[in-house]
Amino acid sequence: MPVETDPGNIQPLSPYAVRLVKWRVRAVNEPRSRVVMEGLPVCANCHSFSADGRVMGMDLDGLRKNKGRYFLAEAGRDVTVRNQDVIQWTSEQGRLENAIRVGFMSQVSPKGDAVVTTIDTPGATSSNYYVANFTDYRFLQVFFPTRGRLAWYSRASGVLKPLPGADDPAYVHFGAVWSPDGRSLVFARARAQDPNPAGHPVARFANDPNELQIRYDLYRIPFNGGQGGVAEPVEGASNNGMSNTFPKLSPDGRWLVFVQSRNGQLMRPDSQLYIVPAAGGQARRMNCNTALMNSWHSFSPNGRWMVFSSKARSPYTQMYLTHIGDDGMDTPPILIENSTAANRAVNLPEFVNGQAGGLRSIGGPALEYYRLYDRAVFFEKAKRYEEAAGKWRELLEVAPADEEVRRRLGMMLLLAGRRAEASTVLGAGKSGESPLVRAIRLLESGQDAGPVAVSATPNAQEHYYLALVALRRSEKEAAEAHLRQALVLNADYAEAHQSLAENIAIPVEALAHWRETIRLRPNNAQALRGAAWILATNQELRNGPEAVVLAVRALLLTNAENAQVLDTLAAAYAEANRFEDAAATVRRALAAKPADAALLQKRLERYLARQPWRE
Give the sign of the dihedral formed by CA 345, CA 348, CA 349, CA 355. negative
Helices (H) and strands (E) in the chain, counts: 15, 28
Coil, strand or helix: which one is 107?
A: strand
CATH code for 523-615? 1.25.40.10
Please check the confidence at residue 4 and state whether its pLDDT lies above 60.
no
Quote the CA–CA distance of 8 and 130 in Å, as a whole number.
6
CATH code for 15-363? 2.120.10.30
291, exposed or middle or buried, with CB in 10 Å at 0-12, 13-18, 19+? exposed
- Residue 108: closest CA among 66, 161, 69, 152: 152
Contacts of 138 (CB under 8 A, 6+ apart): 311, 315
Tell me the average pLDDT across 116-133. Answer: 81
Please check the confidence at residue 99 and state whether its pLDDT lies above 60.
no
Contacts of 110 (CB under 8 A, 6+ apart): 50, 51, 178, 180, 181, 182
Tell me the average pLDDT across 175-191. Answer: 97
Q: Considering the chain, what percentage of its residues have pLDDT values greater than 90?
A: 49
Quote the CA–CA distance of 45 and 22 in Å, as a whole number.
11
Coil, strand or helix: which one is 301?
A: coil
Rg (CA), the chain: 27
18, exposed or middle or buried, with CB in 10 Å at 0-12, 13-18, 19+? middle
Could you tell me the pLDDT band of residue 335, with boundaries at 50, 70 and 90?
very high
Quote the CA–CA distance of 555 and 528 in Å, as a whole number.
9
Full 3-state SS string of 19-32: CCCEEEECCCCCCC
What is the reported pLDDT for 429? 47
Could you tell me the pLDDT band of residue 67, with boundaries at 50, 70 and 90?
low
- Residue 369: closest CA among 403, 394, 406, 401: 394
Could you tell me the pLDDT band of residue 227, with boundaries at 50, 70 and 90?
very high
| pLDDT, the chain, mean | 85
* E strands, 39-138, in order: 44-49, 55-60, 69-74, 78-80, 86-88, 90-91, 94-95, 107-108, 114-119, 129-133
Give the sign of the dihedral formed by CA 550, CA 551, CA 552, CA 555. positive
Question: Each residue of 257-279: pLDDT tens digit?
Answer: 999 999 999 789 999 999 999 99
Contacts of 534 (CB under 8 A, 6+ apart): 507, 510, 511, 514, 541
The full set of domain ranges for the chain reads 15-363, 523-615
What is the reported pLDDT for 3? 47
Could you tell me the pLDDT band of residue 438, with boundaries at 50, 70 and 90?
low
Could you tell me the pLDDT band of residue 12, with boundaries at 50, 70 and 90?
low
Coil, strand or helix: which one is 207?
A: coil
What is the reported pLDDT for 347? 84
Tell me the average pLDDT across 330-345. Answer: 88
Question: Each residue of 574-611: pLDDT tens digit?
Answer: 999 999 999 999 999 999 888 988 999 999 999 999 99
What is the reported pLDDT for 327? 94
Please check the confidence at residue 27 and state whether its pLDDT lies above 50.
yes
Question: Each residue of 544-570: pLDDT tens digit?
Answer: 999 999 999 888 888 677 899 999 999
Strands 284-285 and 318-323 come out as unpaired
Please check the confidence at residue 110 and state whether its pLDDT lies above 90.
yes
Full 3-state SS string of 492-514: CCHHHHHHHHHHCCCHHHHHHHH
Please check the confidence at residue 441 and state whether its pLDDT lies above 90.
no
Whether residue 528 contacts residue 554, with contact meaning beta carbons closer than 8 Å, is answered with yes
- Residue 251: closest CA among 155, 174, 322, 352: 352
Looking at mean pLDDT, say which of 374-378, 465-469, 571-575 comes out highest: 571-575
Please check the confidence at residue 94 and state whether its pLDDT lies above 60.
no
**460-472 and 494-503 helices, crossing angle to 10°:** 30
Q: Worst-scoring range by mean pLDDT, 285-289, 297-301, 393-397, 512-516?
A: 393-397
Strands 243-249 and 232-233 come out as unpaired
Question: Each residue of 373-431: pLDDT tens digit?
Answer: 888 888 888 888 899 999 999 989 888 888 788 888 988 887 787 877 877 787 654 44
Quote the CA–CA distance of 348 and 345 in Å, as a whole number.
10
Give the strand order in the sheet containing 69-74. Answer: 44-49, 55-60, 69-74, 86-88
Please give the angle made by the CA atoms of 175, 181 and 187, to the nearest 5 degrees. 15
Strands 243-249 and 255-261 come out as antiparallel
Quote the CA–CA distance of 15 and 521 in Å, as a whole number.
12
